[in-house]
């Protein structure tokens, strides 16, 4: 009698559920728990959309010249101040403004050297943005394309809103400006305007032209 009872339990399982069905039910419960856990993790974790790159380029086409309202500077030309006439009242310079003022772009110049050379110059900087200039010269005997790479600190968010006499792209935290071919003994002024998320002045940590350090780097 006891043998028949044991056989019945083995074939029908507990509560009338067969062992096969019991195993399937357990497996289904485990899978359901894994799916629910994955959904909860996705909903509570940070979205990739919240991860912002520190350097971006907004426009897709280069400008033919610096936009109006930006300040540019030529470090290779310095004007000597005109002495005031005797007895004339003193004229103090106006206080600096927090926004760039219109100015005439300076003549294109670059450091005198052999080969391909570049000079990076900060044209102006204010709380929300800055303007940078690049003076590129070709002292080679052939027309040469050029590429300037400017690397910025990763903890500063920079958005390039305009650029001229070059094309702009991004590689990590490096702004890549391509131009040319530049004629033998030719020179060009390129540059860009950008916004930044800090009131402090932002300078590149490195600058190269075709793999060679720019002047001053």
Q: What is the pLDDT of residues 116-153, one digit of tens each?
A: 999 999 999 999 999 999 999 999 889 999 999 999 99
- Residues 133, 193: one domain? yes
- Residues 140, 174: one domain? yes
Which of 117, 105, 119 lies closest to 75, judged by CA?
119
- Residues 35, 123: one domain? no
- Residues 70, 126: one domain? yes
Q: Which residues contact 144 (CB under 8 A, 6 or more apart)?
A: 116, 138, 180, 181, 182, 210
Helix (H) or strand (E) holding 79: none
Q: What is the pLDDT of residues 54-73, one digit of tens each?
A: 888 887 788 877 777 666 65
Residue 70 lies in a domain: yes
What pLDDT shows up at residue 33? Answer: 65
From residue 9, alpha-carbon distances to 3, 12, 169 in Å are 10, 5, 73
- Residues 34, 61: one domain? no
End-to-end CA distance of the chain: 97
- Residues 173, 70: one domain? yes
User: What confidence tier does 35 reach under pLDDT thresholds 50, 70, 90?
Assistant: low
Instruction: Note down the domain range covering 6.
Output: 2-44
- Residues 38, 71: one domain? no
In terms of C-beta density within 10 A (0-12 exposed, 13-18 middle, 19 or more buried), how is residue 89 classed? exposed
Residue 170 lies in a domain: yes
Residue 81 lies in a domain: no
- Residues 117, 203: one domain? yes
SS3 64: coil
Look at the chain and report how many structural domains it folds into: 2
Radius of gyration of the chain (CA): 33
- Residues 64, 163: one domain? yes
């Amino acid at each position: 009698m006891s043998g028949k009872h044991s056989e019945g339990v083995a074939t029908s399982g507990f509560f009338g559920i067969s062992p096969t069905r019991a195993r399937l039910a357990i497996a289904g419960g485990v899978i359901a728990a894994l799916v629910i856990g994955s959904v909860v993790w996705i909903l509570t974790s940070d979205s990739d959309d919240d991860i912002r790159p520190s350097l971006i380029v907004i426009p897709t086409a280069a400008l033919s010249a610096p936009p109006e309202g930006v300040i540019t500077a030529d470090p290779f030309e310095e004007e000597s101040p005109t002495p005031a006439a005797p007895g004339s009242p003193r004229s103090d310079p106006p206080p600096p403004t927090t926004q760039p003022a219109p100015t005439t772009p300076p003549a294109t110049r670059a450091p005198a050297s052999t080969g391909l050379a570049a000079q990076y110059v900060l044209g102006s900087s204010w709380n929300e943005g800055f303007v940078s200039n690049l003076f590129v010269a070709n002292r080679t005997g052939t027309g040469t394309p050029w590429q300037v790479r400017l690397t910025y600190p990763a903890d500063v968010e920079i958005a390039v809103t305009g650029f001229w006499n070059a094309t702009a792209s991004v590689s990590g935290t490096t702004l890549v400006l391509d131009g040319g071919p530049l004629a033998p003994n030719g020179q060009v002024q390129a540059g860009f305007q950008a916004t930044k998320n800090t009131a402090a002045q932002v300078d590149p940590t490195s600058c190269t032209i075709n793999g060679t350090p720019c002047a001053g780097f």
